Chains A and B, each alone.
Chain A
């Protein structure tokens, strides 16, 4: 039980923090979608590293290999990647619609036009 045995969790937590910050702090919607993807990837790494066995190999049956890594996390991460790209597509489509309707995809600018109209 060494500290290095938890290194994968540190990587996951760090990537998650970066992605989370990107989602919260960046006003641009494309950037927010990218932050969401960073967040997602950190979860993928968590799952895949949970299935890793030291000395194991890729879960494809072949001669001369005794220890395989766990295939189940790989399956769920495959599903999650594909669903993630579907979410990305929907989010970006929403961004396109907002761009068409308001002329901007910055959070901070969305209210500006409304304010102008109220004044004028």
Chain B
């Protein structure tokens, strides 16, 4: 329901707030699904950091979305067809929560059985993330570094008078442009 509201609301500020609520709800869902670490990260990153990023952009852009009017029937058709196909495919997936599911019978059991002996720390998620699969986590760090570089490269360009041949619709005041900071 909240997700629908996020899409429907035209006021982008309200949409940002609703999205924070949505992230918090999904964090609660992750807790119910036994994923404590994921829930913590989702609450911090989804509800906190993403909201701050969106709000920072909203200080620069217009607050209200331009009304498009009515539904986009083509998009709705594409989405419904995709959803129907996925729903059909989901019938072949394993039943929820069954201990005999394929996901539970391969390497997962190994980590559950050996984390205590190998690492000496109780948190299996941290053990897998930082030790068993540490090279992958380093790759993740590279991705984040690349993203930070991209954000910095995009935002460090001095604002000029628009692209050649393009007239700017509404000039941005210099004061506001100088307050702009690169996102983390």
Interface of A toward B, CB cutoff 8 Å: 1, 5-10, 12-22, 24-28, 30-31, 33-35, 37-38, 41, 44-45, 48-54, 56-62, 67-75, 77-79, 81-90, 92-97, 99-106, 108-109, 112-114, 116-117
Contact B45 A52 (CB under 8 A): no
Interface size for B (C-beta < 8 A) is 100
Residues of chain A with a CB closer than 8 A to B42's CB: 44, 81
Interface of B toward A, CB cutoff 8 Å: 3-4, 6-7, 12, 15-16, 19, 22-23, 26, 29-30, 33-38, 41-42, 45-46, 49-50, 53-54, 56-58, 60-62, 65-66, 68, 71-72, 75-76, 78-80, 82-83, 86-87, 90-91, 93-99, 101, 103-104, 107-108, 111-112, 115-116, 122-125, 128-129, 133, 136-137, 140, 143-144, 147-148, 150-151, 154-155, 157, 159, 162-163, 165-172, 177, 180, 182-184
A30 to chain B: closest CB distance in Å? 6
Distance, CA A44 to CA B12, complexed state (A): 24
- Tell me which of B4, B147, B172 has the highest count of chain A C-beta atoms within 10 A of its own C-beta: B147
Contact A60 B124 (CB under 8 A): yes
Given contacts A89-B184, A108-B66, 11 further A-B contacts (CB under 8 A): A5-B98, A10-B90, A14-B83, A31-B7, A34-B19, A60-B123, A85-B45, A89-B183, A99-B172, A113-B168, A114-B165
Distance, CA A56 to CA B32, complexed state (A): 11
Given known contacts A38-B6, A69-B35, A72-B108, A92 and B65 CB-to-CB distance under 8 angstroms: no
Contact A59 B166 (CB under 8 A): no
Interface of A is mostly: helix
Distance, CA A102 to CA B170, complexed state (A): 8
Given known contacts A41-B26, A74-B37, A77-B38, A16 and B124 CB-to-CB distance under 8 angstroms: no
Contact B87 A21 (CB under 8 A): no
